[in-house]
């Protein structure tokens, strides 16, 4: 694409939200342990350990990873394709952070205690005016956030 974009007078794409987000991780076992212990999302799709070749070909899109079902209908996936030497940097083109919503500030306080119980470093609950958030990182250093809207 070259040159500036011009807004169409007749149409824009209307969405109903996110369908899925997938992040690339270095070590699927380590990442699964983290996301399972922090969030406990149910697994929506993963390759069965005893999958035959036809099933493996059909489920190529997993890349050896997993897809979780997020409350509200969206999907969240882990794709284990990053080399061990790679590191996350929110200051590069691409993902800055990933934010999951919770209902209330009390939910954030409970999440903070849960992260403490797992010895996961976090920034504590912060009031940002339009709501409250709790920031932390996954094993690959990917910036994660929990957000509760202002009540």
Per-residue pLDDT of the chain (151 residues; tens, 9 = 90+): 566 766 666 788 888 888 999 999 999 999 999 999 999 999 999 999 899 999 999 999 999 999 999 998 999 999 998 888 888 888 887 889 999 999 999 999 999 999 999 999 999 999 999 999 999 999 999 999 999 999 8
pTM of the full structure: 0.86
| pLDDT in the model for residue 114 | 97
| pLDDT in the model for residue 9 | 66
95-151 homologous superfamily: 2,3-Dihydroxybiphenyl 1,2-Dioxygenase, domain 1 (3.10.180.10)
Q: How big is the chain, counted in residues?
A: 151
Cα angle for residues 48, 140, 129 (degrees, 5° grid): 110
Instruction: Name the residue ranges covered by the structural domains of the chain.
Output: 18-83, 95-151
18-83 homologous superfamily: 2,3-Dihydroxybiphenyl 1,2-Dioxygenase, domain 1 (3.10.180.10)
Asked if the domains 18-83 and 95-151 are classified in one and the same CATH topology, the answer is yes
């Amino acid at each position: 694409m070259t040159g500036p974009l011009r807004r169409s007078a007749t149409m824009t794409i209307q969405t109903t939200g996110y369908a899925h987000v997938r992040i690339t991780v270095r070590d699927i076992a380590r990442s699964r342990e983290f996301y399972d212990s922090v969030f406990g999302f149910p697994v929506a799709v993963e390759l069965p350990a005893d999958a035959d070749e036809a099933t493996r070909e059909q489920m190529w899109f997993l890349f050896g990873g997993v897809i979780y079902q997020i409350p509200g209908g969206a999907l969240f996936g882990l794709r284990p394709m990053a080399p061990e030497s790679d590191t996350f940097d929110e200051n590069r083109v691409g993902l800055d952070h990933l934010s999951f919503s919770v209902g209330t500030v009390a939910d954030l306080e409970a999440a903070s205690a849960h992260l403490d119980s797992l010895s996961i470093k976090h920034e504590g609950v912060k009031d940002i005016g339009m709501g409250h958030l709790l920031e932390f990182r996954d094993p690959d250093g990917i910036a994660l956030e929990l957000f509760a809207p202002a009540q």
